[in-house]
Structure 1
Amino acid sequence: MLADVRQQIVNANLRYKEAADLHRREKLFQVGDLVMVRLRRERFPPGTFSKLSRRKLGPVPITAKINDNAYSVELPADCHTTSTFNVSDISPYIPADGALIAISSSESSSSEAGED
């Protein structure tokens, strides 16, 4: 009897998972892709997040893929939060005019400014 109950629970869980997966979209990114990152209040220490703060940050490149559900991105120095984000907080960056965007580090831009 216990084996039958266990099997019914397993079957019910599989049906729930199939129903939930119908609405889920899989998002996969590669290292180097430009993305927009959503910043939530929970990511910051109490008292440091303002409701007037930016809600999204980007475009930022992905620096490492932890797994299909978590990615590490290159955040600016003034952003005092961890650089690892869940895939639900990451969206692909699509330029408004369809042009390609190249992100360069601040060191290269400051050295180029000194050459002029």
Structure 2
Amino acid sequence: MMFVHEEVRKKIALQTEVYAQHANLQKRDKQFAVGDQVLIRLCSERFPPCSYNKLHARRAGPFTILKKLGPNAYVIDLPPTYAISPVFTIEDLTAFTGQNDFTSASDDTPIRVPSTSCPSDVILVVIDHQFVSTRKGGYYKFLVQWAHKPLSDSVWLQGDEVHHLAPEVYCNYIQQYLPEASSLEGRQ
């Protein structure tokens, strides 16, 4: 009886090893080091809505790896014009093996990277204001409407944020609706 159990265990172990080898045929252990040149996969999720379409390049690069965050995540040295997160997973990276003047599949057409021209932090108008009392005095907060967004996406921002993002809109609102607070303009 013991002989049968051991024989079955050996067959199961052998069959499990065969299954594992077959399943791992397509798997590749990709690892990159800091300083390696890679191509990045471009996908619509990384860009603002309506700025990426199916005619854009699938890959761009080469770019240098700045930092390894773990076995699957890397920080890439992207130009500021991309305006996307520089962190990429191993699935979105391909080792670069060609010349440094990579353009695209056809040498005469440059890579078309989606522009991020959708304004993200442009204040259209200040809708309302409130004074928030604190132990140290208080501050004003403003309800702002963003350009190219519906009124339902309006948010409350502190005065210094509004002043930083849209100085003209901020000053006009203060002069029109809060003349007593215009002396606080530098502190908001």
Q: Distance in 2 between matches of 1:22 and 1:95?
A: 26
For residue 50 of structure 1, what is the aligned residue in structure 2? 53
1:53-68 to 2 correspondences below 5 Å: 53-68=56-71
Give unpaired runs (5+ residues) of structure 1. Answer: 1-14, 102-116
- Listed as ranges, the gaps of 5+ residues in structure 2 are 1-15, 101-188
Q: Equivalent residue for 2:32?
A: 29
Counterpart of 2:84? 81
1:53 CA displacement: 1.9
Structure 1 residues 30 and 46: CA distance shift in structure 2, 3 A? same
Q: Deviations over 1:88-109 (max 9, x none)?
A: 110110115xxxx5xxxxxxxx
> 1:51-94, CA deviations, whole angstroms, 9 ceiling, x for partnerless residues?
22222110100001011111110111211211111111101101
Partners in 2 of 1:70 and 1:20 — Cα distance? 24
Q: Which has the higher contact order (CA 8 A, sep 6+)?
A: 1
RMSD, aligned CA = 2.0
- Give aligned-pair identity as a percent: 37
| Deviation, structure 1 residue 21 | 3.7
Secondary structure of 2:80's counterpart equals coil
Provide the secondary structure at the position in 2 that maps to 1:72: strand
Structure with the greater alpha carbon radius of gyration: 2
TM-score by length of 2: 0.40
Whole-Å separation in 1 of the counterparts to 2:77 and 2:35: 10
For 2:29 and 2:95, locate their aligned partners in 1 and report how far apart those are by CA, in whole Å: 12
Distance 2:45 2:25 in 1: 28
TM-score, normalising length: structure 1: 0.62
Deviation at 1:20, TM superposition (A): 4.5
